[in-house]
Amino acid sequence: MRKEKLAVALENDGYIRKLLNLFHMCEDLENSEGLHCLYETFKNIFLLNKNALFEVMFCEETIFDVVGCLEYDPSSPSPKRHRQYLKQLARFKEVIPINNPELLAKIHQTYRVQYIQDVVLPTPSVFEDNMLSTLSSFIFFNKVEIVTLIQEDEKFLNELFSQLTDDATDDHKRRELVLFLKEFCNFSQNLQPQAKETFYKVC
């Protein structure tokens, strides 16, 4: 009951955004104690395991600040550089131009949240798997939505398969197309049986 009430209070009072404003202040002032405290705070917000809170933390306006808070692990001698990696080094390759902004935003969000789960958060020995079940579900449903949005874009799929089967497509480009298709098929494993059947018919 207390956990539920705490999650509702965090959501209704805009507490996460207020914490992120505080994060900017602490980072500007190089306040290590405050940054370490914010790391612990956000780690525990994740443990509340609430989708409504994830929706706030993972939107375009806040996700990099949340990742920033998680860079200041008190047990680490120096801050991690997760934001630098996500902004500068992790580049999404559009093998076929994606004209749907909703799809593009969902792809970026899913990659970043997957990175948070796999790299940024403490290992499962610290976080019990069931404590983060909602985070896994968040990623799961994002992948389902990505597959659905791509399936509905006939122009995109036609262009994809047209370039794949075109003899004029160079080997590097064909490799990129195949890797995209492989990832697309991997995402489809999250579909329900009936939706999978539709996916196979489309592809």
Q: Decide if 163 contacts 169 (C-beta within 8 A).
A: yes
pLDDT band at 200 (very low <50, low <70, confident <90, very high): confident
- Residues 65 and 104 both lie in one domain: no
Summarize pLDDT for 59-110 with one digit per residue, the tens: 999 999 999 999 999 999 899 999 999 988 766 778 888 889 999 999 999 9
- Residues 69 and 3 both lie in one domain: yes
- Residues 62 and 104 both lie in one domain: no
Residue numbers of the domain that contains 16: 1-85
pLDDT band at 141 (very low <50, low <70, confident <90, very high): very high
Element (H, E) at 12: helix 2-12
Q: Domain end: 17, 51, 85, which one?
A: 85
Q: Domain end: 85, 106, 129, which one?
A: 85
Summarize pLDDT for 157-195 with one digit per residue, the tens: 889 889 999 999 999 999 999 998 899 888 888 788 777
For the residues 123-140, what does the mean pLDDT come to? 74
Closest CA to 66 of 39, 48, 106: 39
Q: Domain end: 50, 85, 120, which one?
A: 85
129: which DSSP letter? G
At 64, is the secondary structure helix, strand, or coil? helix
Total domain count, the chain: 2
**Mean pLDDT of all residues belonging to the chain:** 89
- Residues 184 and 126 both lie in one domain: yes
Identify the residue whose tokens are 């999250």: 190
- Residues 174 and 105 both lie in one domain: yes
Element (H, E) at 71: none
Q: pTM for the whole thing?
A: 0.86
- The pLDDT, as a whole number, for residue 197 is 77
- Residues 6 and 101 both lie in one domain: no
